[in-house]
A = this chain, B = another copy of it.
Amino acid sequence: MTDHPSKTLAAFAANLRFEDIPHEVVRRAEDLLLDWFGSAVAGKGARPVEAIERFARHMGPDSGAAEVLIARRRTSPLFAAMVNAASSHVAEQDDVHNGSVFHPATVVFSPALAVAQELRCSGRELLTASVAGYEVGIRIGEFLGRSHYKIFHTTGTVGTVAAAAAVGRLLRLTPEQMLDAFGSAGTQAAGLWEFLRDAADSKQLHTAHAAAAGLTAAYLAKDGFTGAKRILEGAQGMAAGMSREPDAARLVDRLGQRWALAETSFKFHASCRHTHPAADALLQVVTEHKLAPDQIASVTAYVHQGAIDVLGPVVNPQTVHQAKFSMGTVLGLIAQFQRAGMKEFEDHFNDARVAAFRSKVTMVLDPEVDGAYPARWIGKVAVHTVDGRMLSGRVDEPKGDPGNTLSREELEQKALRLAEFSGGASVHEMQTAFHQLWDIEHAPTVGYFLT
């Protein structure tokens, strides 16, 4: 155990080489990159994302080396990172690391791709930098822990440092500069859950902010701008201000041996990840017993405390985005369509039958589920049928978790559905992008996708 974990972690990020990363972790990084690309394209047309894009147009340069995917234009890396991070988080289809409750792709790939395009980096450099961002961000999320997540949107806060790690690696920062970048990123860490109560647009602002702030921190560090050397663990650092139970050992947990990136889950349902275990468990029950929604009298979802904290305030969702944080809506869609995808949310989240289903759903804190969380996200439901049966469902790994992952074909299908939903790219364009992305390891320069 080091007495200066920020430094150890920064040195790891600065020194990581492509050759150090196991083959299967590289493959998984490619999977996550393609999955992120689909989510980024999915954000086209979403009101909050388009507002951020208009702001970027207003304030940023109208040419540059980095690509804004939803706008098919190029600008400076700062604004490409900002808009791509907003757009890749709005569909709630981007990846998640269970143990840290952190969405790495949106805050890592968005700035990394923008900077790799500007610097004309190779695909291997992009992959290496992205792995650095994942490993750093996930460990900081675990370090700050559950008390942090109760108030703060970990992806927004921790995302600043994850973004700085990825961009810093592309900029070839020295370990000392990387530590400076961590300091400048962590001191900009922000993102509060308060917006959920009002179904406000902040979630995309959080990722846009994290990507931009982390990128800023890394570029400044390259230019000699210094930062706090213990921004994570120091007496007036991130944990001191924003966690009640920081665990510094997590920051340096088996660096170079444990690949946290490979623990990251793909999202299958188009909703907040906290709804997925119960959704899969209910899907199991309705499939096995061929239940129609009107045969269901009530559903009890046995959940962890974090689900209650995040989903609890959402009682009567007014927007598609808010509905993705409504357990009743998600389970209503599963009962009705055996699916809670983008299309089901968009077309049906407030159908009379789905809305009526909400009052049938109760969340109950479950000691087993809560004890396993966040390392494992167990799904347990009890279904009371109208005819008096009590049926139970259980999943130990929701669909998309590493032990129940998506194949490359499933990932492509998911990305195609997202692109079709938003109109962000044609099937042909997506397939061309898939070809580039699956072969990114061999790309001498990363190149462009939609411009």
Which residues on A are within 8 Å of B, measured CB to CB? Answer: 47-48, 51-52, 54-55, 58-62, 76-79, 150-152, 156, 180, 183-184, 186-202, 205-206, 209, 213, 216, 219-220, 223-231, 234-238, 240-242
Contacts and interface: CB of A to CB of B under 8 A. Distances in A.
A62 B234 CA distance: 39
A198 B4 CA distance: 14
Q: Summarize A's interface: helix, strand, loop or mixed.
A: helix
29 contacts: A54-B223, A55-B219, A58-B219, A151-B241, A183-B194, A183-B195, A183-B200, A184-B201, A186-B192, A187-B190, A187-B191, A187-B192, A187-B194, A188-B209, A190-B190, A192-B236, A194-B231, A194-B235, A194-B236, A195-B228, A198-B227, A198-B228, A199-B226, A200-B229, A201-B220, A201-B225, A201-B226, A205-B225, A209-B213
Contacts of A52: 220, 225
A234 B59 contact: no
Contacts of A242: 241-242
A384 B445 CA distance: 69
A190 B188 contact: yes
A205 B229 contact: no
Q: Ordered nearest first, which 7 A-B pairs have the shortest CB separation? A: A194-B228, A59-B78, A193-B236, A151-B241, A195-B228, A190-B190, A194-B237
A226 B319 CA distance: 13
Nearest to A206: B187
A48 B225 contact: yes
A229 B237 CA distance: 28
Given A187-B191, A190-B213, A194-B230, 13 more contacts: A47-B224, A51-B220, A51-B224, A151-B236, A156-B187, A184-B201, A187-B192, A187-B205, A188-B209, A194-B228, A195-B228, A198-B229, A201-B226
A156 B186 CA distance: 13
Given A151-B241, A189-B190, A184 B205 contact: yes
| Chain copies in complex | 2
A395 to B, nearest CB: 29
Nearest to A156: B187
B60 A76 contact: yes
Nearest to A210: B188
Contacts of A195: 183, 187, 227-228, 231
A192 B55 contact: no
Contacts of A191: 187-188
A196 B48 CA distance: 37
A78 B76 CA distance: 14
B241 A227 contact: no
B151 A240 contact: yes
A192 B51 contact: no
A193 to B, nearest CB: 4
A306 to B, nearest CB: 13
A184 B197 CA distance: 14
A77 B58 CA distance: 9
Nearest to A78: B59
Contact of A55 (B54, B59, B216): B216
A183 to B, nearest CB: 6
A205 B220 contact: yes
B59 A197 contact: no
Contact of A226 (B190, B198, B220, B241): B198
A220 B82 CA distance: 14
Contact of A200 (B180, B189, B223, B235): B180
Contacts of A193: 236
B241 A152 contact: yes
A226 B152 CA distance: 18
A216 B204 CA distance: 13
Nearest to A225: B51
Contacts of A202: 183-184, 187, 227-228
A192 B228 contact: yes
Contacts of A240: 151, 192, 194
Contacts of A55: 216, 219-220, 223
Contacts of A228: 192, 194-195, 197-198, 200, 202
B187 A241 contact: no
A48 to B, nearest CB: 6
